Amino acid sequence: MTLEWMKKQAKWVIGIFGLFILGGLVMMDRAGSYRSDRHHNIVGKVNGEEIPTDRFQSELKNYLRGQEAQNGKAPEGLQLAQIREGLFNFKVQSVLMQKIFDGYQLHASREEMMDYVVKHPQEVAGHIARYKGYEEMPPFLADSSIDQARFENWLAQDSIYDRYSMQELEQQLKTSVIPQVQLQQIMKSQIHRTPLEEAFTVSMRENKARVKFYHVPADSFSVSPDKFKDADLKAYYEAHPDSFYFHDEAARLAYVRLPLRPSRTDSALMAEFAKELKERVANGEKFADLAKDYSNDPGSAEKGGKLEGLRGREGLDPAFANAAFALKPGEISDPVLSQFGYHIILLHDRKKVDSTEKVEVSHILLKVTPGTETIDSLMGQAEKIRASAQKDGLEKAAKEFNITLEKTPIFEKSNLSPLGGGYVQGANSFAFSKFEAKEEISEALQSDDGIYLFEREAKFDKGRNFERAKPQIAADLAKEEKLNLAKKELEAQKSAIAAAPEGALPPHIGKAVLDSTAAGPISADNWLSGFGYSSPVLFQVFNQPVGSWGPVLTTDIGAVLAKVTEKVPVPGTELANKVQAQLMQADPYAVSGIYQDFVTNLPKSAKVENTMDLVFRN
């Protein structure tokens, strides 16, 4: 099975494989707040088997080094937390998968590994490239069109296997890649498709038709989930006893936020620093070096502050543009305040392009951020609110200090950012960590936009739970009602549609929109507006008589009324032969799907203990 196939069919496998590859990079000294005392020597357990902190920390550091080398900046904030969580989940899956490999006695022979390497020169080249700077890259491997003969001659040299990169690749092939391929082969033998199932699949793919149809999107109606009463939600919950099972614990938090904004003092201090940088340039320091060291514009800082190409006034901040166009080539502006912060601008050139004046510039951007005094002041206020909340609760404290109390939606433990796009370091730990369970009110937690205090409003265990399911049930009921409204709308317009002349069907009748497969006949496994992708409803329409409007049908996204104008069926004998041919070979999509589900669900059947809160402050 080729790696290209794995990329197409199981991208998550390649993602994890990439994470493991980067785990082989050399060590670096930055990775987060590691606590090295003896109580924090593991980050978790899988069925009692410990995941050592030192190995976890080593792989995390090396992965972060790779990210920093690739992007010029180490991940931080939410991205860093997600990387830690992703690495932990990968380690859990690795432990469980190794048990599977051992149970089936799966191992990679030397011949299998060599065969894989020979057939994947680009992958070998990519792997060696990750160690650029530590090992010399063979010239023919750096070329986009690899000479296979030269590649195989290179592989025949015993000395290349002394390379660290090749030893790492061998280890990954032996312990992960090839056993995964072998396990998929075992799963392939367990897939048994009936002739009826295969006939449906082949018919969906091979038979084609041209269709005209009207559709009413469900989203053309507004139904608020809030309209449904608890009795409605409870009835729906009890009517679906096999649904609403949750595999992860969840919580809902109440919180207050003190906005974190720069003060006038912060702005004045940054203006003074900008003047200092300009003076340093005047005293002989290079503008480009200072931009690389101090500019907060990541797109231009690494280029010495250079903005690509000639720039007109349009698209530039007005204050920036006025200052830039007032300079002469070689001149440097005084600090200029824009909506982004303070700029020091160096004009390189000014030209007229199609009668429009444009400039070529570099700049140093200094964003105005809250300083220590501002943050300390807010932290002091937050501590007063926290002291009050510890006595009487966060709601009363919010009223006392005239602050808005807000609530997060119900979120699962795996959601590291319960506030949506905003990331508050420590919020997830406060919600779920057993080491903070006794604290009713969180510490004051700082993010980019404010200082937060949290209070646990509700905690939900794994399993079925009505209170936890209520938002999802309300959303399901709202969608169901919108689909019913779409169907009623189309039913009301059905007579008008049937009476309209075939060659002059109106583009709109009420909320119904006319559409068709105008480009030509399509198969039912295509995407079609109003139907969605590979819709069983579209397959049902294909079986309607040609030339007649069928019944109003409901899809996952609305209601449709369709007429088949042409059928292009595959002859029965040919269709039967295709069905038989498909039955004789494996379905790669089915194998990939089964394997992906197997690996994804594997941790759900294990006892997993995540104690990263002892090692990292999430």
CA–CA separation, 172 and 166 (whole Å)? 10
Number of Cβ within a 10 Å radius of residue 502:
9
Phi, psi of 341 (to 5 degrees): 140, -160
Determine the pLDDT at residue 134. 67
**Beta-bridge mates of residue 362:** 306, 346
Cβ neighbours of 60 (radius 10 Å) = 23
> Within 10 A of 236 (CB to CB), how many other CB atoms are there?
19
Q: How confident is the model at residue 35 (pLDDT cuts 50, 70, 90)?
A: very low
For residues 486 and 149, which has the higher predicted lDDT (pLDDT)?
A: 486
* Cβ pair 482, 221 in contact under 8 A: yes
Query: Which residues make beta-bridge pairs with 246?
Result: 463
Q: Sheet containing 608-610: which strands, arranged edge to edge?
A: 49-52, 42-46, 608-610
134 and 224 belong to one structural domain: no
pLDDT score for 199: 84
Lowest mean pLDDT among 78-82, 150-154, 195-199, 462-466: 195-199
Which residues lie across from 563 on neighbouring strands?
A: 212, 549
What CATH number does the domain containing 445 carry? 3.10.50
Spatial separation of the C-alpha atoms in residues 613 and 618, rounded to whole Å: 7
> Is the confidence at residue 597, as pLDDT, over 50?
yes
Q: Is residue 79 part of a domain?
A: yes
Alpha carbons within 13 angstroms on the beta-carbon side of residue 581 total 7
- Dihedral (C-alpha) 141, 145, 150, 154: value to the nearest 10 degrees? 20
Q: Is residue 414 part of a domain?
A: yes
CB environment 113-127: b (16+ within 10 A), e (fewer): beebbeebbebbbeb
The pLDDT value recorded for residue 617 is 61
Instruction: Give the lowest-confidence range in 33-37, 350-354, 470-474.
Output: 33-37
**b/e 298-332 (16+ beta carbons within 10 angstroms → b):** eebbeebbbbeebbebeebbeebbebbbebeeeeb
- Each residue of 291-328: pLDDT tens digit? 999 999 988 988 999 998 899 988 899 999 999 999 99
- 361 within 8 A of 346, measured Cβ to Cβ: yes
- What residues are paired with 598 via a beta bridge? none
Instruction: Identify any residues that bridge with 363 across adjacent strands, giving them in sequence order.
Output: 345
**What does the alpha-carbon distance between residue 181 and residue 255 come to, in Å, rounded to a whole number?**
48
Same domain, 148 and 161: yes
The pLDDT value recorded for residue 605 is 85
Sign of CA dihedral 454, 458, 460, 465: negative
Question: What is the domain range of residue 112?
Answer: 3-190+603-614
Residue 492: is its pLDDT beyond 90? Answer: yes
pLDDT by residue (tens digit) across 174-220? 988 999 989 988 887 777 778 887 888 888 888 899 999 999 999 99
Q: Are residues 343 and 442 in the same domain?
A: no
What ranges in 189-295 are assigned the alpha helix state H? 195-206, 230-239, 264-282, 287-294
In this structure, the answer to whether residues 13 and 125 fall within a common structural domain is yes
Is residue 257 domain-shared with residue 269, that is, in the same domain? no
On the question of pLDDT at 97 being above 50, the answer is yes
Mean pLDDT along residues 335-344: 94
pLDDT score for 528: 92
Residue 197 within any structural domain of the chain: no
Q: Give the distance, in angstroms, between the CA of residue 546 and the centroid of all CA atoms in the same chain.
A: 44
pLDDT band at 14 (very low <50, low <70, confident <90, very high): very low
Q: Is the pLDDT of residue 467 over 90?
A: yes
User: Which pLDDT belongs to residue 12?
Assistant: 38
Label residue 133 by pLDDT band (50, 70, 90): low
Residue ranges in 207-263 assigned as alpha helix (H):
230-239
Q: Are residues 182 and 221 in the same domain?
A: no
Query: What is the DSSP code string of 543-575?
Result: TSPBTSB---EE-SSEEEEEEEEEEEPPPHHHH
Same domain, 159 and 10: yes
- Beta-carbon contacts of 499 under 8 Å, excluding residues fewer than 6 positions away, are none
Question: In terms of residues, how long is the chain?
Answer: 618
Of 176, 161, 158, nearest to 124 by C-alpha is 161
pLDDT of residue 2 exceeding 80 = no
Residues 342 and 328 in one domain: yes
Per-residue pLDDT, averaged over 324-341, amounts to 94
In a domain, 335, yes or no: yes
Which of 366, 389, 408 finishes a domain?
366
Rounded percentage of the chain residues whose pLDDT exceeds 70: 92
> Domain check: are 135 and 16 in the same one?
yes
Q: Give the residue from 406, 440, 461 where a domain finishes.
A: 461
DSSP 8-state code for residue 453? E
17, pLDDT greater than 90: no
Task: Compute how many other C-beta atoms are within 10 angstroms of the C-beta atom of residue 409.
Answer: 12
Considering only CA atoms, give the Rg of the chain.
31
Domain count, the chain: 4
Residue 445 contacts residue 383 (beta carbons within 8 Å):
no
Same domain as 25, residue 131: yes
Question: Is residue 19 over pLDDT 70?
Answer: no
Separation of alpha carbons 464 and 245, rounded Å:
5
Q: Return the ∠ at Cα 126 (arms to 123 and 130), rounded to 5°.
A: 140
Strand partners, 445: 452
Residues 309 and 181 in one domain: no
Give which of 266, 267, 293 is closest to 280, Cα–Cα.
Answer: 293
Which of helix, strand or coil describes residue 179?
helix
Question: For residue 582, is pLDDT > 80?
Answer: no
Q: Identify whether 592 is part of a domain.
A: no
Most confidently predicted of 21-35, 306-320, 375-389: 375-389
Q: Say how far apart CA 72 and CA 66 lie, in whole Å.
A: 10
Percentage of the chain modeled with pLDDT above 90: 55
Considering the domain architecture, whether residues 47 and 123 belong to the same structural domain is answered as: yes
Contact 513, 218 (CB under 8 A): no
Q: In the beta sheet, which residues pair with residue 353? A: 356
| 196 inside domain | no
- Domain assignment present for residue 393? The answer is yes
CATH number at residue 274: 3.10.50.40
* pLDDT of amino acid 280: 95
Q: Give the domain-ending residue among 366, 393, 414.
A: 366
Q: What is the pLDDT of residue 132?
A: 67
Calculate mean pLDDT across residues 147-165: 88
Give a yes or no: residue 590 inside a domain: no
The whole-angstrom separation of Cα 487 and Cα 493 is 10
Q: What are phi and psi of 337, to 5 degrees?
A: -95, 120
pLDDT value, residue 587? 65
Question: Coil, strand, or helix at residue 537?
Answer: helix
Mean of the pLDDT values across residues 539-567?
A: 94
- Are 247 and 462 in contact by the 8 Å Cβ rule? The answer is yes
- Structure confidence by residue, pLDDT tens digits, 391-429: 999 999 999 999 999 999 999 988 888 987 778 988 998
The mean of the pLDDT values for the chain is 87
Q: Examine the pLDDT at 602 and tell me if it is beyond 70.
A: yes
> pTM for the full model?
0.70
